[in-house]
Amino acid sequence: MKRALIVGRFQPYHSGHHEAIKNILKEADELIIVVGSSDESHKAENPFTAGERIEMISIALKEKKLFEKCFIIPVADVHENSIWVSKIKSYCPKFDVVYTNNPLVKQLFETSGLEVKKMVSKLKDVDGVKIRKAILSGDEWSGLVPDAVKDYLKKIKAAERISAIVEKEQKE
């Protein structure tokens, strides 16, 4: 049995994440999805709570019958990146391989003796910054996230929240 791990902030969970996860689960039996910066919410870079992000991810995984193969684990930030890998290990069940395209994450996990692989997705240019901007400006963004996530974001009034956050942060 092989267990993989990925790390993301999932602000929000989008089609790039979804695609990559489906690909990893072709190679691995189980996947740990670390929801990073779990102690941040209602900020421009981190509008959604950990609970909301876990909800988004699970909605999308359940549609694809992938939920039962995954652990979704919120982990708060640590200042010292040098101890971050050790925090991840403390919060997660044992894992065999890390998938990431981030060079620092790669260095940190490799230094600690873990195997690291590249994450493959056809949707490289989909990212959270772009989606949060589109939600804010009213541009079309529904193709950028799984349909079920789109519905969820509308239900929790994501556009209204992001707009309030941005207005607040500009004032300060």
Site for its own copies, rule CB under 8 A: 38-43, 45, 49-52, 54-55, 58, 67-68, 71-74, 76, 79-87, 89-94, 102-108, 113, 127, 160-161, 163-165, 167-168, 171-172
Residues ≥6 apart with Cβ < 8 Å to 136? 159, 162, 163, 166
Are 153 and 131 in contact, with CB atoms under 8 Å apart? no
Complex with its own copies: residue 95 or 141, whichever CB lies closer: 95
Are 78 and 84 in contact, with CB atoms under 8 Å apart? yes
Rounded to the nearest whole angstrom, what is the least distance from the CB of residue 41 to its own copies in the complex? 5
Rounded to the nearest whole angstrom, what is the least distance from the CB of residue 92 to its own copies in the complex? 5
Rounded to the nearest whole angstrom, what is the least distance from the CB of residue 91 to its own copies in the complex? 5
Q: Which residue has the tokens 């992001």?
A: 162
Complex with its own copies: residue 86 or 142, whichever CB lies closer: 86
C-alpha distance across the termini of the chain, in Å: 51
Rounded to the nearest whole angstrom, what is the least distance from the CB of residue 86 to its own copies in the complex? 4
Give, as one character, the DSSP assignment of residue 124: T
